[in-house]
Structure 1
Amino acid sequence: MFQIIAYIKFLFTSTNQHGVHSPFVYDLITNCFYDKTRYEVYLKLLAYRKSLLHDHTAITITDFGSGSKVFKSNTRAISAIAKTSGTTQKRAELLLRIVQYFKPKHSLELGTSLGIATQALALGHSGNQITSIEGCPNSSAFTKKQLSEFDIKNVEIKTGAFEVILPQLKNNTYDLIFFDGNHTKTATVFYFSQLIDNAHNNAIFIFDDIYWSKDMQDAWEIIKAHPKVTVTIDTFFWGIVSFRKEQVKEHFKIRV
């Protein structure tokens, strides 16, 4: 019910590219978000997804986050996880376009899961070296094999709790960070605070499921208010953050 009400409010307060006066945001919306080109690489995303949807192998999930709203058991079929919890095809295509647009060289993903978003990060730019962290050993082992079978070579998956792995990466700089692991307010704000020093002026942070719960919406408001954050774009399903010092602080709600 919270998400339904939040989405209705979003529809009334969001817009498209019209009325957006920031050249940076306008160009991102028109040339990336609303790019209708049917890129051939989308077929690779679809093939990866279909492979997961046809895989009925069951694995036991170790969940460090807020838990599932769908599954009652931690033993789940790959196909069921892909169908209910994985990044949708439309969002995977958008993530790929975002990577095409910004061309990051070093990306970090918090929450590999079955690798649907990971593949999009990898295919969007061949020069993008991705570090992806997955807390569940069984998910990690499966996805390493799955990505290898689909010839994805620019991804390194690190297995372990985010709190354990992130301190090992403190000296790295990232152009793009995709937060898709722990959908709780405390964890999201903590990971943001831990990683903000790993970003630079042109870095992009993407937060998944910012309306997952009232707590996640609160986390998003805290992130928006941070003094280093200049531009945010709320697409309802994602919150996108920019740190560009040349931009005045401004927040957008964009229908995608």
Structure 2
Amino acid sequence: MSFKSYLQFLLKSTNQHGVHSPFVYLFVTQCLYNKQLATKKELIAPTPTLSTKQQLLLLKIIRYFSIKTIFTDDPTLSKLIPPKDHCTLTPHLSTTPLPQLLFINHPTQQATTYLSYMHNDSILIINNIHQEGTNKKLWQQLISSSKVTAHISVYHQGYIFIRKEQPKQAFFIR
């Protein structure tokens, strides 16, 4: 992640006032900006794969959407989620039950594979979307897919939604 890519992100990004989608506005104001959903004190263990900010954002999303089933390719994630959140983590993609959240830190599959496990009430999180390499390539493939209706970049992570009731839109949130 370079200073140049971060500067470009800042020039494109906005806060909640630049969002014209009710779903995304609520997600930004009641989840991402909500300091009561998760605090640094709740973080169980530091991890070399996620920053403190990324951990907090992940916990906020799990709680905001009441996530119970998570697919992840990052084995350290099981150490980060407090037991009180009652989440089931799986390292294998499965259709029973379909995961509510897919958290990708080290992509090994094609974008179409991840999208095939998504439904209207799921979210796909790609970590480090501005990092050169597979994460950035996967992010570009995902946002260009016709299945994706909303994608949000918060620089350190990207969020993919497939919402039948929403037109295709891109958001860059500070």
Q: Does 1:174 align with 2:133?
A: no
Aligned length: 174
Q: Name the SS for the 1:18 alignment partner.
A: helix
More helix by share: 1
Alignment-derived partner of residue 108 in structure 1: 71
Quote the offset at 1:94 in angstroms: 1.5
Preserved CA contact (<8 Å) 2:150 2:168: yes
Residue in 1 that maps onto 2:85: 125
Contact 1:178/1:207 (CA < 8 Å) preserved in 2?
yes
Give the Cα–Cα distance (whole angstroms) in 2 for the partners of residues 178 and 100 of structure 1: 15
Aligned counterparts, 1:20-35, within 5 A? 20-35=19-34
CA spacing shift, 1:221–1:38, aligned 2, 3 Å: closer
CA-atom RMSD in angstroms = 2.2
What is the match of residue 17 of structure 2? 18
Structure 2: distance between partners of 1:124 and 1:10:
35
- Gapped runs of 5+ residues in structure 2? none
SS of the counterpart of 1:104?
A: coil
Whether the 8 Å contact between 2:37 and 2:64 is mirrored in structure 1 is no
* TM-score (structure 2 length as normaliser): 0.88
- Which structure has more RCO (C-alpha within 8 Å, separation ≥ 6)? 2
- Matches of 1:193 and 1:124 in 2, distance apart? 33
SS in 2 for 1:48: coil
Task: Provide the C-alpha distance between the structure 1 equivalents of 2:16 and 2:132, rounded to a whole number of angstroms.
Answer: 27
| Structure 1 unmatched runs, 5+ | 50-81, 134-164
The answer to whether the Cα contact below 8 Å between 1:176 and 1:203 also exists between their aligned partners in 2 is: yes
Aligned equivalent of 2:41, options 43, 46, 55: 43
Is 2:114 aligned against 1:195? yes
User: Any idea what the Cα deviations from partners look like across 1:189-237, whole Å, max 9, x if unmatched?
Assistant: x1x3223222211110000111111664343222111111100001111
Distance change >3 Å, CA 212–CA 123, structure 1 → 2: farther
Task: Say if 1:198 and 1:32 are closer, same or farther in 2 by CA, change over 3 A.
Answer: same
In structure 1, distance between residues paired with 2:2 and 2:167: 30
Taking the aligned partners of 1:240 and 1:170, their CA distance within structure 2 comes to 21
Paired position in structure 1 for 2:56: 93
Taking structure 1 as the reference length, what is the TM-score of the superposition?
0.61
Amino acid at match of 1:88: S
1:4 corresponds in structure 2 to: 3
The answer (yes or no) to whether the contact 1:33–1:97 under 8 Å persists in 2 is yes
2:17 counterpart SS class? coil
Cα distance, 1:108–1:175 mapped onto 2, change above 3 Å: same
Write the distance in 1 (CA, Å) between the matches of 2:82 and 2:162. 23
Q: For 1:65-76, what aligned pairs fall within 5 Å after superposition? A: none
Change (3 A) 1:22 1:199: same
Cα drift, residue 88 of structure 1: 1.6
